[in-house]
A and B are shown apart, each in its own frame.
Chain A
Amino acid sequence: MNFNFDLVVRSFPLLLAGAVVTIKITLLSVGFGLIIGMFVGMAKLSKIRLVKVLATMYVDFIRGTPLLVQIFLIYFALPMVLGKRIDPFIAAITACSVNSGAYVAEIFRAGIQSIDKGQMEAGRSLGMSWAQTMRYIILPQAFKRIIPPLGNEFIAMLKDSSLVSVIGFEELTRRGQLIIARTYGSFEIWLTVAFIYLIMTFTISRLVDYLERRYKIDDKH
């Protein structure tokens, strides 16, 4: 078998453009996922039963079903309810955000629970509301502790975002498929695609390591 290096070189710019799209989806999804996850994570710890039950149902549903099925639900099933088509980009971001939110919620829940309960008591005893204590005392401390698992979630989402290629959204994986359809260079292209994913995840994991170390030095400040 010949390795067509020229094909790799020619396809590389196209694949890189796809990689940029992949990063975009991941950033947006984990970004929205962070917001969703922060509130759902707090909701899971709520004393209000209904809030807690709803949050738990959401997390259980998302974690108990494949992302691929969730993408289909939003791209193919939801339009039947809405009565109109959904743009693949919107569908991809929505599916990934809602998915990421559930995982981030669990990370936040664990992070919040890891903070000594004396902190909440101290805040409340000073007359601060639950929300104020969360915002100024609990969350800032929890956030530093959850940087490593959030980094892992980011890496997982970066890889899982390849699934949105099935609804025709042109990110890295889909770009690869399209090039192969034209050139039949399965081996070269998939290897290149894998390599680009690896570079991205490797860079992020180093970045997370760095952040983790930095916060370990001034652990608490």
Chain B
Amino acid sequence: MISIKGLHKRFGKLHVLKGIDAFIREQEVVVIIGPSGSGKSTLLRCINFLEEPSDGEIVVDGIPLSGEANINKVRTEVGMVFQRFNLFPHMTVQENITLAPLKVRNMSKAEADKVALDLLAKVGLSDKANAYPDQLSGGQQQRVAIARALAMRPKVMLFDEPTSALDPEMIKEVLDVMKTLANEGMTMVVVTHEMGFAREVGDRVIFMDEGRIVEEGTPEAFFTGAKEERTKAFLSKIL
């Protein structure tokens, strides 16, 4: 589904990604963990070209990422959920969800509205269709953001620390939605600090540090039998 080869990213002199090779299979849930500054968010943002790779090759669903035309095509297949939700504050929840299907997929208004209401039911916010984002709690906003991304019927969903900006009691409602998605067979790449989620939902865990993939494996193998010293040190601090 996603193949990454020799990916480098530099911000000026700062070398953030130092040669990443990774492959994400269809229906796989890959959790990326690592200390802050390890490049995990940057890696995620490179997958839908929010950051332009300095070097290397990314192929998403058979489409190589290059040039503006390709990028928009890939982005319609790749949903993204941000740490800070990034809902459109001047639009209602329903308008947030229907905008891209209307403008990019050229869906009819009736069809888009139906998709939006179905998705809102799915994330448990049917009663909030006409609310504005600032009238919702953080957890609710993030669930709307997930619904918004899903409305494009993406083949892959990217989650960039989706629960990091939430109050503790709201984390579960967002993780539950993500769990449901994973169980339905959505291909997901999740950058998170939620080790419980990684363990329970992840098919594979990737540990990154200083712009490189240090270690990867199934959650079980990873959390109980990490091989690298750097991984062990990290795990000992957070578990």
Q: Which residues of A contact B (CB under 8 A)?
A: 116, 118-119, 121-129, 132, 136-137, 140-141, 144, 219-221
Contact = CB atoms under 8 A, between A and B. Distances in A.
Contact of B82 (A122, A129, A144, A220): A122
Contact of A119 (B48, B50, B80, B86): B86
B82 A121 contact: yes
For the complex, would chain B's binding face be called helix, strand, loop or mixed by DSSP majority?
mixed
Contacts of A140: 90
B100 interface: yes
B222 to A, nearest CB: 28
Top 7 A-B pairs, shortest CB-CB distance:
A127-B76, A126-B100, A122-B86, A220-B89, A118-B86, A125-B80, A127-B75
Nearest to B84: A118
Given A128-B72, A137-B99, 5 more contacts: A118-B82, A122-B145, A124-B50, A125-B78, A220-B134
A48 to B, nearest CB: 12
Contacts of A219: 134
A144 B90 CA distance: 10
A126 B86 contact: no
Interface string B95-116: 0000110011000000000000
B132 A126 contact: no
B86 A127 contact: no
B152 interface: yes
B108 to A, nearest CB: 17
Contacts, number: 70
Contacts of B80: 121-122, 125
Nearest to A130: B68
Given A125-B50, A221-B132, A141 B89 contact: yes
Interface residues of B, number: 27
Contacts of A137: 88, 99
Contacts of B148: 126
B119 interface: no
A132 B76 CA distance: 14
B30 interface: no
B88 A125 contact: no
A220 B88 CA distance: 9
A120 B86 CA distance: 9
A127 B100 CA distance: 7
Nearest to B101: A126
Given A118-B82, A122-B82, A220-B132, A128 B90 contact: no
B95 to A, nearest CB: 10
A129 B99 CA distance: 12
Contacts of B79: 125-126
Contact of A125 (B73, B75, B133, B134): B75
B29 interface: no
B90 A141 contact: yes
Contacts of B84: 116, 118
20 contacts: A116-B84, A118-B82, A119-B86, A122-B86, A123-B88, A125-B48, A126-B75, A126-B79, A126-B149, A127-B73, A127-B100, A128-B72, A136-B99, A137-B99, A140-B90, A141-B90, A144-B90, A220-B90, A220-B132, A220-B133
A123 B76 CA distance: 11
Given A118-B82, A121-B82, A124-B50, A129 B72 contact: yes
B217 to A, nearest CB: 29
Interface string B143-165: 00100110010000000000000
Interface string B162-173: 000000000000
A113 to B, nearest CB: 17
Nearest to B45: A121
Contacts of B87: 122
A159 to B, nearest CB: 33
